[in-house]
Amino acid sequence: MGTARPGRGNTRGEPRVLLRGLLLLVVGALSLFLLLPGPHKPESFSLTDPATWWSAFAPGPVSDGQPAIPEDEADAEIAPSAPDRALSARAVPGESTRPTRRAEPASAPPEPAPSPDASLSERSRPGGPSGAYEEPEADEKGLSIAGSVLDDSGVPLPGTAVHARGTGLTAITDPLGMFLFEGLETGEYLLSINETARHHGTRRSVLAGAEAADLHLQRKGNIKIHGRVVDFNGQPVANATVRALGNREQHVTDASGIYEIQAELTRAGTQPVLDFTHPDYRDVRERVTLNPDDLFAPVQVDVVMDSEHEKVPVLGWVGGPHGEAVAGAKVSLSSQQPRAFYSTVSNERGEYGFDEIEIGPRYRIRVDPPDEGYQRYLSEFFAVGPDGAVHEVTLEASNEAELSGMLVNLHGQPVTDFTLWLRNTDVPGYRAIAINTDQSGYFEPVQVPAGSVQLGTRTSPTLSASGIVLAPGEARHVQIPLDWGRDWLLGRVLDELGEPVPQATIVAQWREEFPEVRSASSRQTLTDLEGYFNFANLAAPVYQVTVRAEGFITNRTDVTLQSADEVILRLRRQSAPAGPGDG
Q: What is the pLDDT of residue 123?
A: 37
DSSP 124: H
Q: What is the pLDDT of residue 217?
A: 82
Q: Are residues 543 and 446 in the same domain?
A: no
Task: Calculate the alpha carbon distances from 482 to 104, 457, 520, 537 in Å.
Answer: 28, 11, 8, 11
Closest CA to 226 of 134, 167, 297: 297
Q: Higher confidence at residue 402 or residue 104?
A: 402
Q: Are residues 87 and 168 in the same domain?
A: yes
Q: Are residues 101 and 202 in the same domain?
A: yes
Tens of pLDDT, residues 13-32: 555 656 666 777 766 666 66
In a domain, 431, yes or no: yes
Q: Is the dihedral of CA 367, 368, 369, 374 positive or negative?
A: positive
Q: Are residues 352 and 328 in the same domain?
A: yes
In a domain, 583, yes or no: no
Q: Higher confidence at residue 387 or residue 310?
A: 387
Q: Are residues 442 and 547 in the same domain?
A: no
In a domain, 60, yes or no: no
Cα dihedral 470/475/478/482 (nearest 10): 60
Contact 332, 342 (CB under 8 A): yes
| 3-state SS, residue 73 | helix
In a domain, 458, yes or no: yes
d(CA 343, CA 71): 83
In a domain, 50, yes or no: no
Per mean pLDDT, which range of 89-93, 552-556, 564-568 is the poorest? 89-93
In a domain, 39, yes or no: no
CATH of the domain at 410: 2.60.40.1120
d(CA 359, CA 352): 19
Give me the amino acid identity at 425: T
Residue 110, strand partner residues: none
Closest CA to 374 of 472, 445, 441, 454: 472
d(CA 214, CA 180): 11
Give me the amino acid identity at 350: G
DSSP 16: H
Indicate if the pLDDT at residue 324 is higher than 60.
yes
Closest CA to 258 of 276, 270, 271: 276
Q: Are residues 297 and 319 in the same domain?
A: no
DSSP 55: H
Closest CA to 319 of 214, 222, 395, 237: 395
d(CA 506, CA 549): 9
d(CA 320, CA 555): 57
Boundary-marking domain end, from 217, 242, 258: 217
Q: Are residues 337 and 427 in the same domain?
A: no
Give percent of the chain above pLDDT 70: 72
Q: Are residues 321 and 381 in the same domain?
A: yes
Residue 261, strand partner residues: 225
**Average pLDDT value for the chain:** 78
Q: Are residues 519 and 549 in the same domain?
A: yes
Q: Which domain holds residue 422?
A: 400-482
Indicate if the pLDDT at residue 189 is higher than 80.
yes
The kind and range of the H/E element at 27 are helix 14-35
Boundary-marking domain end, from 327, 359, 394: 394
Q: How are beta strands 542-548 and 188-193 bridged, if at all?
A: unpaired
Question: Assign residue 234 a region: left if phi > 0, alpha if psi is -120 to 50, beta otherwise?
Answer: left
DSSP 288: P
d(CA 545, CA 535): 11
How does residue 230 score in pLDDT terms, banded at 50, 70 and 90? very high
Q: What is the pLDDT of residue 214?
A: 87
Cut 0.85: pTM above it = no
d(CA 519, CA 468): 11
Q: What is the pLDDT of residue 33?
A: 58
d(CA 171, CA 91): 5
Tens of pLDDT, residues 61-88: 444 444 444 444 444 333 343 334 333 3
Residue 421, strand partner residues: 434, 456
In a domain, 239, yes or no: yes
The number of folded domains in the chain is: 5
Q: Are residues 372 and 498 in the same domain?
A: no
HSE, CB side, 13 Å, CA atoms: give it for residue 76.
6
Closest CA to 541 of 562, 556, 513, 520: 562
Q: What is the pLDDT of residue 126?
A: 40
Closest CA to 302 of 364, 234, 367, 206: 234
d(CA 384, CA 341): 14
CATH of the domain at 362: 2.60.40.10
Contact 99, 89 (CB under 8 A): yes
CB neighbours of residue 540 within 10 Å: 21
Q: Are residues 387 and 408 in the same domain?
A: no
Q: What is the pLDDT of residue 442?
A: 95
Q: Higher confidence at residue 71 or residue 157?
A: 157
Boundary-marking domain end, from 346, 362, 394: 394
List, in order, residues 6 or more apart from 120 with CB less than 8 Å away: 86, 529, 530
Give me the amino acid identity at 333: L
Residue 174, strand partner residues: none
Q: Are residues 526 and 540 in the same domain?
A: yes
The distance from CA 193 to its chain's CA centroid, rounded to whole angstroms, is: 11
In a domain, 144, yes or no: yes
| 3-state SS, residue 361 | strand
How does residue 1 score in pLDDT terms, banded at 50, 70 and 90? very low
Give me the amino acid identity at 173: T
Give percent of the chain above pLDDT 90: 39
